[in-house]
Amino acid sequence: MEEKVKISMLFQIYEKMLTQNQRELINDYYNNDLSLSEIAENHQITRQAVRDNIKKGEKKLFELEEKLMFMDTMVKQEKKLQQILEELSKIENVSSDKKVEKILNHVREELSCLA
């Protein structure tokens, strides 16, 4: 997974564990796609201060994920749901029974709510 995407996902999960300043700066950098210079100008701080705060926030996000593993669990569950949905499609494709089709559609809808 690309580093920027990973950090953005970690931010969505753990953002409340960061300081308000770290949340704002990381959000601007990763989600609003602002440069360090633009963020520094908007917050009236140096570019180096922006970078340092973002790096501290990133470190905290990775430490939290290492301990709690929410994103890892989420990604694994999503992959497993995809596999189940694919298997349901295979069953549906080979079955001509309308009852089976109805049950499979219901199960698929329920699983879709989890994804």
Q: 3-68: what CATH class?
A: mainly alpha
Instruction: Reply yes or no on whether the pLDDT at 101 is more than 70.
Output: yes
Given a contact cutoff of 8 angstroms between Cβ atoms, the answer to whether 47 and 37 are in contact is: yes
pLDDT in tens, 61-85: 999 999 999 999 999 999 998 888 8
| pLDDT of amino acid 34 | 97
Q: Can you give the residue ranges of every domain in the chain?
A: 3-68, 74-114
pLDDT in tens, 36-61: 999 999 999 999 999 999 999 999 99
Extract the tokens encoding 70: 């929410």
> How far, in Å, CA of 84 to CA of 101, rounded?
15
